[in-house]
Chain A
Amino acid sequence: MHREEEKVVEIRGVKKSFDENHVLRGVDLDLHKGENLVVLGKSGTGKSVLIKLMVGLLKQDEGSITILGKNTDNLKLKELNKLRLKIGFAFQASALYDSMTVRENLEFPLVRNVKNLSRKEINKKVEGLLDSVGLPKTINQMPAELSGGQKKRIGIARTLILEPEIMLYDEPTAGLDPTTCIDINNLINQVKEEYNTSSIVITHDLTCAKVTGDRMAVLIDGQFQAVGPFEEVFAQATNPRIKSFYDYNFIQ
């Protein structure tokens, strides 16, 4: 069981609407240090919105979000940017910069945020990360030349270059073949071990959830209906919607 002081993210009563679409209706969630928390839910339930609120890409209508002890509600941009450096965000579609090579994609956040790095240090870091995601040969390739799985790996490598304490994965296995999904799931676990990160993984893929998650949080109708270990949430589920979510995934 995690102790109270080990929380790195605390979300309390967060609500978010887009016009008449009430996406999050009072969400509470904790992320503990060193754990992988998987947020599950059908498409359009507000999973991605939740992590976008955490990094300040969106603003919640109500509630509070505390990350690494800092309440993000009224942070000034400079403070928010400081906090953002401690959070790695792996986007669903990778969001690699089209006009830059893989090397430039990885270097870009590094040279912008860490001053006085020598070329040798930058190269070492970039090459080391590409090695650890298993794609050292792609260094001079353009994003358009990469496969979907490779893009995801490079996207994760790019977020790791600033050595974040928290990783946020937005649908890391979406649109990938089963073999590549396994690779990405293993990479998520490898990142946790090697970089000692705490992570939130947004997905609707139960295999990914089972393999990568220490705890699950199931988002239905804008609220978490169940939070806990996989077995507890799904095997003993009494909520028919959670059960159907489980059955649908595994019958497939």
Chain B
Amino acid sequence: MQRKVFQLLVDNTSGVLSRIAGLFSRRGYNIESITAGVTADPRYTRITIVTSGDDEILDQIEKQVFKLIDVRDIKVLEPGNSVYRELALIKIRVSADRRQEIIALAETDNFRAKIIDVCKEALIVELTGNQDKIDTFIGLLDGYEILELARTGLAGLGRGIENVTYLP
């Protein structure tokens, strides 16, 4: 089993996300995360899918996804040659006397997170980074109660300009 990040360019039509998600579920492929958003050209949507499987499954995923009529392009975002980011919003229960501990942890250079909401019993941390960084941060919150957690899933781009798909 290995993990792979696919980047798709698809026609920005209604139902496209359900077609892709449906393909993954009916063929039994894993989706660890899926993110979608319109590109600079509003005719297209860029989708980043994090999935896992053995080599044969990953090969099939690439072929079956590309076979969907709405899919313009699919590529693998290799870790060494790509940047990935995920955004997490974490609501932590914390009393006023311990609030500074969280703020200090969040604002270290390791995390550079922001505190975007504070109330008497809790605060919300906004953290951006790769998935490991977010997992690490959550791990460090041991002893605190996480009231709510929202993660966007990974978005990614290849580095440089060699692999850019130019759209007609």
Chain B binds chain A: no
Residues of A at the B interface (CB closer than 8 Å) are: none
Interface residues of chain B, those whose CB is within 8 Å of chain A, are: none
